[in-house]
Chains A and B, each alone.
Chain A
Amino acid sequence: LAKTTQPISMDSYEGQEVNITCSHNNIATNDYITWYQQFPSQGPRFIIQGYKTKVTNEVASLFIPADRKSSTLSLPRVSLSDTAVYYCLVERRGSGNTGKLIFGQGTTLQVKP
């Protein structure tokens, strides 16, 4: 599976838009990009998933360029409660490798007042 690389940490202020970029140079045709959010001592929470171009839901947007070698999670107008670790994952469909998510180190986002 494609290895993902994302910044270890980021700081932001309340009300700002935050963009977290993840690189996955070896992404394959069957791979999807998924982002999870995790608060301390809680399980990860699914945020968004995409294959190409742009996906938007009530929480975030995910931008994936045509070559799919990177992706950017965009969080609009963050608040203090968005302080968490954000994980970028590459999920391969059809490989039979069921149930296994591979988490990297994630990006610790600190939102300041």
Chain B
Amino acid sequence: KAGVTQTPRYLIKTRGQQVTLSCSPISGHRSVSWYQQTPGQGLQFLFEYFSETQRNKGNFPGRFSGRQFSNSRSEMNVSTLELGDSALYLCASALGGGNTDTQYFGPGTRLTVL
């Protein structure tokens, strides 16, 4: 079974631009969570989607948003990019029955904001 895939793997943007990242979960998984990883803050939870609905949200500003499609694929959008948004963005998929499912992570998208 194919793992979680994320595209693109690397991205360079400039301040003020916006960016969209994509995540394809493992087949059959309906939950997709997004995380930001930086050297200073570590791994931080952004939000989780299940059945096209945001089910949980972390403490990030409204510039960070996401959505999920009917095939469970998810996108994350960051608007008005700031230098501090440079990070590894990870998505994880799970079966989605509840908060007990093992999360399987993708390889991440490395975003650099100049």
- The chain A residues found within 8 Å of chain B, CB to CB, are 32, 34, 41-46, 49, 87, 91-106
- The chain B residues found within 8 Å of chain A, CB to CB, are 4, 31-33, 35, 42-45, 47-50, 55-56, 58, 88, 90, 92, 94, 96, 98-100, 102-108, 110
Q: Which of B31, B43, B50, B99 contacts A44 (CB 8 A)?
A: B43
Q: Which of A42, A43, A46 contacts B102 (CB 8 A)?
A: A46
Please, could you name 19 A-B residue pairs with CB atoms under 8 Å apart, sorted by A?
A: A42-B108, A43-B105, A46-B104, A94-B98, A97-B56, A98-B55, A98-B96, A99-B31, A99-B32, A99-B45, A99-B49, A99-B50, A99-B103, A100-B45, A100-B48, A103-B43, A103-B44, A104-B42, A105-B42
Asked if A95 contacts B43 (CB within 8 A), the reply is no
Asked if B55 contacts A101 (CB within 8 A), the reply is no
Q: Which of B31, B45, B49, B99 lies at the interface centre, i.e. has the most chain A CB atoms within 10 A of its CB?
A: B99
B111 to chain A, nearest CB (A): 12
Asked if B107 contacts A99 (CB within 8 A), the reply is no
Whole-angstrom CA separation of A101 from B102 in the bound complex: 10
